[in-house]
Every structure is written in C-alpha cells, then in structure tokens.
A and B are shown apart, each in its own frame.
Chain A
Amino acid sequence: DIQMTQSPFSLSASVGDRVTITCRASQTIRNYLNWYQQKPGLAPKLLIYAASTLRPGVPSRFSGSGSETDFTLTISSLQLEDFATYYCQQSYDPPLTFGGGTKVEIK
C-alpha cells in the first residue's frame, strides 16, 4: 500500500496568514494527488486534483504543487472560512489512501 504522510498534524494561524501543508507519498504517485477540506460534522470537499488543478468554484487563494512523492497545499491568505481539516489522497493505485489530516486552527 502507498502510505501518505501529512505534516504538520495541526497548526495555528491568523486570518491573512500564508499557510503551507505538506504531503509525502511512500513511493512515486506522479501527480495523482488530491486535496480535500473537511469542516466539523460535514463531508469532505474536493479542493485540488491532479496535484495542482483547482476545482472550479474553489477560491484562488488555494493552490497545490508537487509531483512524484512530495506535495504541498498552500493557502495564500487564510480566511475565517478556511479553518478546517485538510486531507491529501493518492489516486495512483488502490488502495486509494488518505493522509492523516492537518487541522488548521485559529491563533
């Protein structure tokens, strides 16, 4: 199985901050990497797919980069509605594993 490791586990940030979350795959997954946002009590929402493609309707302050084994989700200027947990997921090969999540909290 391909293991997905996210860091940090959690972070505290202020509105307007630039936030970076990393995701590392245990083997190459080319660019088959997705990012999801989940708020408490709600289903996850797709933000970015194929490592860097922004889903239509997702604010442009979200961006993704990386390839092979190392990936990054960046929020350029954190907004109140961005406080949530973020998950990466590889879609290269089943089982389609998720990272452990990164909780973004208000400082």
Chain B
Amino acid sequence: QITLKESGPAVVKPTQTLTLTCSFSGFSLSTSGVGVGWIRQPPGKALEWLAIIFWDGDKRHSPSLRNRLTITKDTSKNQVVLTMTNVDPMDTATYYCAHSPSGYDRFDYWGQGTLVTVSS
C-alpha cells in the first residue's frame, strides 16, 4: 500500500526559505522509473506542478520557479525534500507530494497535502 505524507511549517515569513518533506512508504525511490513530484494549489485555485525527482536522481523543475526550487531525495529514509527560497504571499498554498510509477506518466498516489501560509 503506497502512502505519502507532507510535513513542514504552517506559516513562513516573506523572504524566508520553505522546506517541505514528503515521507512515503509502500515503494522505493530506487526502483527503476519511479518518481516523486510536488504540486501546489493556492486557495480556491487550480493545481500547479512544481518539480519531480526520479529514482536515478534526475530531476525537473517548473521553469517559472526554477531558481527558487530545490528537490532532493534520501532513499534510505524514504523521503523527498522540496526547498523554496525567498517565499512570497503568492506562495501561500496547499502543497502535495505524489508518486509517479514510471517517468512523467501519471501521479497515481497523493499525500493529504499541507497548507503553507506566507505572512509576516
């Protein structure tokens, strides 16, 4: 059974760095083809893809946020970490991590999401 869970601060001040952790079980991020992605959703708005990291360390980021995002994995801990620098109130959103079984194919399992509010 695949499960994912996001964790991180509920409130972050503008210009600070946001660090989110996705802890998962039921699969290994060392299995060929597997990836974990991050997607966010501002309140009342649509989903926005942020980044993905694969079993072999390959990673992709949203071009609009590329300079602010870092995605890393710790295979031994079954965790993926997303770091976003210089946050702004526009980054207020629910952040989800999700499992991809093969390349960019699809996100078939999602975490419950974590709401992050950027406010001074």
Chain A positions within 8 Å of B, measured between CB atoms, are: 1, 32, 34, 36, 38, 42-46, 49-50, 55, 87, 89, 91-101
Residues of A within 8 A of B39 (CB): 98
Q: Which of these, A38, A96, A101, contacts B49 with CB under 8 Å? A: A96
Task: Say whether chain B's binding surface is mostly helix, strand, loop, or mixed.
Answer: loop
B window 21-80: CB within 8 A of A: 37, 39, 46-49, 52, 60, 62-64
Contact B46 A1 (CB under 8 A): no
Contact B105 A43 (CB under 8 A): no
The CA of A46 and the CA of B109, in the complex, are separated in Å by 8
A91/B108 contact (C-beta < 8 A), A96-B52, A100-B46, A101-B46 known: no
Extra 4 A-B pairs, beta carbons < 8 Å, given A43-B96, A91-B105, A99-B46: A46-B107, A49-B106, A95-B49, A101-B47
Q: Which of these, B37, B63, B106, B112, contacts A43 with CB under 8 Å? A: B112
The CA of A96 and the CA of B36, in the complex, are separated in Å by 13
Task: Say whether chain A's binding surface is mostly helix, strand, loop, or mixed.
Answer: loop
Min C-beta distance of B74 to chain A, whole Å? 23
